[in-house]
Amino acid sequence: MFKMELACPELIEFLNMPFSDLEPVNCKINKLRAMSNDEREQTLMSMSFADQLKLARTHKVCTEILNKSHCIIAD
């Protein structure tokens, strides 16, 4: 279970979910899930809290409303 004290709680919730085959490989959340804890922590530390929150909420919209037919935040 990944937990970082200064990370956005909404984003941490998504990162602690298992890797999903239903989401595209290039989904940013899945890429973060696939990283080691050190890599993930480094990546999140380079993001502002607002950017983390934006990523989490965009992923939520992508997951719940678009049913992941395509990822709107994929690289």
Query: Are 35 and 41 a contacting pair, CB within 8 Å?
Result: no
Is the model's pLDDT at 69 over the cut of 80?
Answer: no
Per-residue pLDDT tens for 49-63? Answer: 999 999 999 888 877
Average pLDDT over residues 25-34: 86
Average pLDDT over residues 29-44: 90
> Across the chain, which distance is largest between two alpha carbons, in Å?
33
CA 5 vs CA 12, 15, 31, 32, 63: distances in Å: 10, 14, 21, 17, 25
User: Residue 24: its pLDDT value, please?
Assistant: 74
**pLDDT averaged over the chain?**
80
